[in-house]
Structure 1
């Protein structure tokens, strides 16, 4: 019994350590950035289904939503939530266009917290995210992914965003997960799946 307990405990500890994120060396980070920057130059469009999980301190349960993300170079991006409610956000021409279950509106995209995520998502499709002057970047790796963590440089932005993390599956050049931690401690986790690169995107994806 004791041997079995020790064996199970050791296995759990080993698994935890094995999956732990490790900082990339300078050479590894340089090679990773060069690879992503080179391969993403060929991306003109990107489509993906997503699952978004929002954790807020004042709620007992996480908020889970489903939808589709569409990106068209150089700066058009839409998030269309389909479940459990319908809600669309389109970023284009430095504006945010919103359709909240039939109620449409638009606002200036500048200085909006979510706009910073979208800027990095767009940048991840052309390699420009690593040179964004608003963030300092650190690089990590684990068994499955390469990870870039973006920390705001300005005190103003730090009032809203503590960190944004982009994960890339090994041997892939598109973002597989986004993790954002707000200054309040609330977190947003977005997982992408069924990603299509350079497929034709109908104009309706960027309209409300």
Structure 2
């Protein structure tokens, strides 16, 4: 369960890549990275409702869950699933805190796969994800989105994740969608809406 939630969290951000998706030129990619990195420097907090859809080969129906994501710079991240079940996961102080319908636990995140995923999610709010040494990044575009595709470099991470795509609406510097493909072939899609930037976030959002 923790792997699915953590990867889904990564997973911490809205349509799939269409057939018209094309690779950015070197100049376009550089301009895109510079713009996002510059504009997201001003983000201190980020809140958003999300819908997560997980497709697994052995299930006939997709698993759809709803919740709220809260991020506070530099490294606090909360995912609270509210429907159809209650499940919370918080990244804070180099640890992962979990509340599974009242059952609480914690995991040391240092030097673990979860810590790398958490860094990438937090990095999406400040542009630092583009320089994460754990991933090879390529850039694409279509009529609606700019897309950064992340491929893990390490064999350890490739055991879990095949690739992650972060979607940025044109003329927007925050992620509106995350598409992730796991090594197993299962996919997770997270769509964000009602996003608030630099609004006050209660400390309780990062407590379980």
1:113–1:161: 8 Å Cα contact kept in structure 2? Answer: no
Match of 1:105 in 2: 105
Q: Give the whole-Å Cα distance in 2 for the aligned partners of 1:206 and 1:66.
A: 18
Instruction: Normalising by structure 1, report the TM-score.
Output: 0.89
Match of 1:76 in 2: 76
Q: Are 1:96 and 2:96 counterparts?
A: yes
Matched pairs, number = 192
CA distance in 2, matches of 1:19, 1:142: 9
Looking at structure 1, the residues matched to 103 and 157 of structure 2 have their Cα atoms a distance apart, in angstroms, of 29
The root-mean-square deviation of aligned C-alpha atoms, in Å, is 1.5
Mapped contact 2:94–2:115 kept (Cα < 8 A):
no
1:94-124 Cα shifts (integer Å, max 9, x gaps): 1110000100000122455554443222001
Secondary structure at 1:122 match in 2: helix
* Equivalent residue number for residue 161 of structure 2: 161
- 1:59 and 2:53 equivalent? no
Instruction: Structure 1: state its 5+ residue gaps.
Output: 1-17
Other structure's SS at 2:50 match: strand
Which of structures 1 and 2 has the larger relative contact order (alpha carbons within 8 angstroms, sep 6+)?
A: 2
* TM-score, length basis structure 2: 0.89
Query: Residue in 2 aligned with 1:9?
Result: none
Higher helix share: 1
1:79-105 deviations in Å (ceiling 9; x for gaps): 000000110000011111000010000
Match of 1:29, SS state, is helix
Structure 2 distance, partners of 1:114, 1:180, is 15
- Structure with higher Rg: it is 1
Contact conserved, 1:76 with 1:90, CA < 8 A, in 2? yes
Secondary structure of 2:104's aligned partner: strand
User: Would you say the 8 A contact 2:23–2:139 is kept in 1?
Assistant: yes
Structure 2: where are the runs of 5+ without partners?
Answer: 1-17
